[in-house]
Amino acid sequence: MAEITKKPEITRKRVGELMRGVFKILLDSPDGLPAKEVLHRLEQVVSPTEFERSDYPKHPGIRRFEKMVRFATIGPVKAGWLVKSKGRWYLTEEGIKAYSQITDPEKFNREARRLYLQWRTTLPEAITELEEVEPAGASSIEDAAEASTFEEAEE
């Protein structure tokens, strides 16, 4: 009989932990840091789970952790909390304020998501940026992270 494997769920709380870890690192660097440096430091702040340390089955050598973090930070970018420019990440004043006021990771994630959805409603219907951010059929951050590579290409 074939073994059935259930894909681990990436919870809203976990996404919030990853986001807040990124913010914690960037708080000490007002001029920002290269994305690769943030991702490297994040492992010391928020230890990757066994699942996050593993590679994508269809893409050996590409670890889930970095891709998932890149995808998780889209919400804070659209919320106006985080800026990603030419491979460098830095916090805005609004991001610093949100980080200090919303200490619960799940609530932090929810507020970023709420602001992201608010931003999304301002887009004309003809613009399909959402497809780049949330690929069709992406049922979780895991699926979407595997599909998103635009940011890395920019670096």
CATH number of the domain bearing residue 106 = 1.10.10
3-state secondary structure of 59: strand
Asked if residue 93 is part of any domain, the answer here is yes
Q: Is 148 part of any domain?
A: no
The span from the CA of 17 to the CA of 20, in Å, is 5
- In this structure, what are the phi and psi dihedrals at residue 64, rounded to the nearest 5 degrees? -65, -40
How much is the pTM? 0.79
**Domain, as residue range, for 89:** 12-120
pLDDT digits (tens, 9 = 90+) for 5-56: 445 568 899 999 999 999 999 999 999 999 999 999 999 999 999 999 998 8
Instruction: Indicate left, alpha or beta for 61 from its phi (over 0: left) and psi (-120 to 50: alpha).
Output: left
SS3 58: coil
